[in-house]
Amino acid sequence: MAAIRFAHAQVVDLRQELKSNLGRVLWGDINRTWWSIMNHMDVDDISKINSVIDETFETAIVRWRNVESVRSLLERACEILKEAAWVSLNVPWYGQEGADAHIHAVFENLMDVFDGKYFCKIRKAMLDISPNVLKIQRAWRRVSTDPAHLACRRRLLREFDAFAMDLENMKV
């Protein structure tokens, strides 16, 4: 049960961060003047969108870097969303009212791509590995707090030395 909550919470957090970041960049950072004059998106705007998507996925990719099945899904989702954003936004200018509706539709479509294509797959991949992660975390908590284990004794000695140095420095 803990593994299900663990995996689900991480994917929900990723989705929420993606939604928030995409909303910010799509409604706040697009140079609509350039778009209306040149009839295509500014390269800088596409770069901003790509950067926001990369930044959103970066934490999860780093967290899961040693688990190939999860990391590869996260990387694939990141790349597909960047390509989908470029394909759907780099189109002729619709006029102000049309652009707002178009951007809203693109935003919803990008979230639908993530939800429909990747949310469940990423969650399942995390679930497949989560019991092992939880076992390791549980074992580490036990080992790191039980002086019968060498790792705990070393930690306690290191902390003792640090406290002793702090006391030395306070006397001076």
Q: What's the predicted TM-score (pTM) here?
A: 0.67
The answer as to whether 94 is a domain residue is yes
What is the predicted pLDDT for the residue at 52? Answer: 94
Please state, in angstroms and rounded to a whole number, the distance separating the CA atoms of residues 134 and 167. Answer: 38
* Residues 123-129: contacts with CB under 8 Å, at least 24 apart: 123/7, 123/8, 123/11, 125/67, 125/69, 125/70, 125/73, 126/6, 126/7, 126/10, 126/11, 126/64, 126/70, 127/3, 127/4, 127/7, 128/69, 129/67, 129/69, 129/70
Report angle CA 12, 13, 18 to the nearest 5 degrees: 95
pLDDT tens digits for the chain (172 residues)?
566 787 788 899 999 999 999 999 888 888 888 888 888 888 888 899 999 999 999 999 999 898 888 899 999 999 999 999 888 887 777 776 777 888 888 888 889 889 988 998 988 888 777 667 677 778 888 888 888 888 888 989 999 999 999 888 887 6
Asked whether residue 125 is domain-assigned, the answer is yes
Residue 145 belongs to a domain: no
Query: In the chain, how many domains are there?
Result: 1
pLDDT of 102: 84
Residue 162 lies in a domain: no
Question: Does the residue 158 lie in any domain?
Answer: no
Could you tell me if residue 141 is inside a domain? no
29: number of Cβ within 10 Å: 13
Domain assignment present for residue 150? The answer is no
The answer to whether position 89 is within a domain reads yes
Q: Quick one: pLDDT at residue 172?
A: 64
Task: Show the domain range for 34.
Answer: 2-131
